Structure 1
Amino acid sequence: MTDELMPDPAVHVAGAQEVAPDLLVIPNRRVGLVPNIGVIGGTQAVLVVETGMGTANAEQVLAFASEVARGRRLYLTTTHFHPEHAFGAHAFAGRATYLVNRAQADDLKRKGPGYLETFRGLGEPVARRLDGVTVPMPDVVYDNGYDLDLGGRTVRLRPTGRGHTKGDQVVEVPDAGVLFTGDLAETGQFAIFPWFPPYDTDVSGVRWLAVMERLAAAATGSRVIVPGHGDPGGPQLLADVRDYLRELRDETWRRRDSAMSEDSIVAEVRALLAERHPEWAGQEWIERGVGCLCAEHSL
């Protein structure tokens, strides 16, 4: 993608929407490399979910959250380590307590520097957002989940196991029926498979599908699903992603069993799924998903 086509990944807090009492979502407006961002309030504290990419975006989110908090304590968490989700956390240092699960902390330490350099090469607008950014380190690292008491409201931070990344976590607000999924789910977009062998092969289509099966089955109490990118929706969003991953696996493995070449599998599956989901963006991620599942088929 050229600089002329690469949009500026700017967060716009003015578009924040209240999806439940004292729970706001700053929407990504379907702009690439901009996540949906949450601001979740209790009587004593406020939790921010995601930072946006880079210092300027994160400072805008921090200022917005501080205005919402009105003196309440601030916390920050991120659904996974990718730059548009977490590479603004440094701006919260000294102002908010940053909590992540252990696998995500390991991703930040092990893979963060490489992702920072890679994203700086995606074009001038992204490089400008990442100017001066350092890979963040969390204040609190937890295992097996964390229940954060905001005062009259408990938010559940739950690692899901390997899927889109090794360190994925979901953020659930049970009293409001709201679930933040990060990039485990997107609206109107093919699932993002960061499958770039030999540099990054942590994504797992098989395990991601298992995660989505669990999330979809457990979503009976959720009224609002906030995906990593795209419009919030209802529980059907989780089922849609589950069904797509199952479809991708089955179509890929059926052809793999017939000893087709991977190039032929990619071409056939991409054409088939693009035809079945013509309104979805990100067709380039189909072939990454096929590559991942071809590799997992042979295990």
Structure 2
Amino acid sequence: MTDVTEMTNAAGAPKAVEHTGPDPVVHVAGAQDIAHDLLVIPDRGVQLVPNIGIIGGRDAVLVVETGLGPRNAERVLEFAADHARGRKLYLTTTHFHPEHAFGAEVFTGAATYLANRDQAADLETKGPGYLEMFRQLSESAARQLEGVRLVRPDIVYDRSYDLDLGGRVVHLRATGRAHSKGDQVIGVPDADVLFTGDLVEAGQFAVFPWFPPHDTDVSGTRWLAVMERLAARRPRTVVPGHGGLGGPQLLADVRDYLAELRQETWLRRDSAADEQTIADEIADLMIRRRPQWIGREWIGKGVGCLCAERAAHAHDEPAPGSPS
């Protein structure tokens, strides 16, 4: 995602503004081999461009993410079909946000689209609002989103799906509510590779799409629990939603940041300080601890989310660091 200022648009959806980077175009020529028959088309550090996966087996190829809009998806599909050389094509997306999933229509008839049930519901109920929001980010984003038609996945699963590509089984796993309600991770066990979507963004403060009252599905506490589970697995290669590929430390970095954000927020939330004062104090603290990370504007959104969650849990458990 990108820099945000909270507003509302005519459709009543949250509105994000200030996409000022280069055109969000997927460059398939930069695809990198990271394991046997497993490639990543990197985001090149460009806003609104995700890392895209191409995972091959003997009989089929799975594409992970579409890119922002039909023209990017056409490039991805052409590249994947050329790589597949006649093998069956599948598509999956890590969550419903536009740069990850709003090109799926291009794959209709050429690939079988799989997603978990919560993500399919997100596409149906929240997709139109996010389409309008992202069209207002910038002229370049609006151009990429021209002609978008949201489509329902061909295969909708509940919590887990094992996709046999022929000699390689890929694990699709719904994580439950975290960065969004329908997040999923994609694991390639034989290569020890994990695609995380925006649960992990390398070198960036976690993106909290916290836009009350329009979108409050993000959960800091549940996200932290997901990251604790993923970090314990220690996969060899982690492909984040955005940013450079890495190893298990990427998972640990996000886990540790979310744990610190929750602790610092909940300790202050139990004081007399107002939410803006809390957000300002924590933003200053987190930036001093991680001066190289980008996305500083998302710290305050995370604080807002966790303040709301602290209020909801106030009678259930003590804040971290407080007497029990």
Q: TM-score range by the shorter chain?
A: over 0.9
In the alignment, structure 1 residue 93 sits paired with structure 2 residue 93: no
Q: Please, which of 184, 187, 204 is the counterpart of residue 169 of structure 1?
A: 184
What's the RMSD between the two structures over aligned residues? 1.0
Report the Cα distance in structure 2 between the residues aligned to 1:164 and 1:4, rounded to whole angstroms: 20
Q: Please, which of 179, 185, 189 is the counterpart of residue 204 of structure 2?
A: 189
5+ long unaligned stretches in structure 1: none
Deviations 1:220-259 (A, max 9, x none): xx21000000001001110110000001101111111112
Q: Which runs of 4+ in 1 moved over 2 A?
A: 1-7
The one-letter code matched in structure 2 to 1:47 is L
Q: Please, which of 202, 213, 235 is the counterpart of residue 248 of structure 2?
A: 235
Deviations 1:179-224 (A, max 9, x none): 00000001000000000011100000000000000111122xx210
The TM-score, its normalising length taken from structure 2, stands at 0.90
User: Who is 2:231 aligned against?
Assistant: 216
User: Contact (CA 8 Å) 1:3, 1:124: kept in 2 or not?
Assistant: no
5+ long unaligned stretches in structure 2: 4-16, 313-324
Shift of 1:7: 2.2
The TM-score, its normalising length taken from structure 1, stands at 0.98
Question: Would the alpha carbon gap of residues 194 and 67 (structure 1) be closer, same or farther in structure 2, given more than 3 Å must change?
Answer: same
In the alignment, structure 1 residue 283 sits paired with structure 2 residue 286: no
Report the Cα distance in structure 2 between the residues aligned to 1:231 and 1:5, rounded to whole angstroms: 21
* Secondary structure in structure 2 of the residue aligned to 1:288: helix
The one-letter code matched in structure 2 to 1:38 is G
User: Who is 1:273 aligned against?
Assistant: 286
In the alignment, structure 1 residue 58 sits paired with structure 2 residue 109: no
User: Contact (CA 8 Å) 2:20, 2:138: kept in 1 or not?
Assistant: no
Equivalent pairs, count: 297
The one-letter code matched in structure 1 to 2:281 is E
Shift of 1:4: 8.3
User: Who is 2:141 aligned against?
Assistant: 126
Deviations 1:148-184 (A, max 9, x none): 0000000000000000000000000000010000000
User: Who is 2:267 aligned against?
Assistant: 254
User: Contact (CA 8 Å) 2:231, 2:251: kept in 1 or not?
Assistant: yes
Deviations 1:7-56 (A, max 9, x none): 21110000000000000000001111110000000000000000000111
* Secondary structure in structure 1 of the residue aligned to 2:20: coil
User: Contact (CA 8 Å) 1:116, 1:135: kept in 2 or not?
Assistant: no
The percent of aligned pairs where both chains have the same amino acid is: 69
Shift of 1:3: 7.1
In the alignment, structure 1 residue 179 sits paired with structure 2 residue 189: no
Shift of 1:144: 1.9
User: Who is 2:316 aligned against?
Assistant: none
Report the Cα distance in structure 2 between the residues aligned to 1:38 and 1:215, rounded to whole angstroms: 19
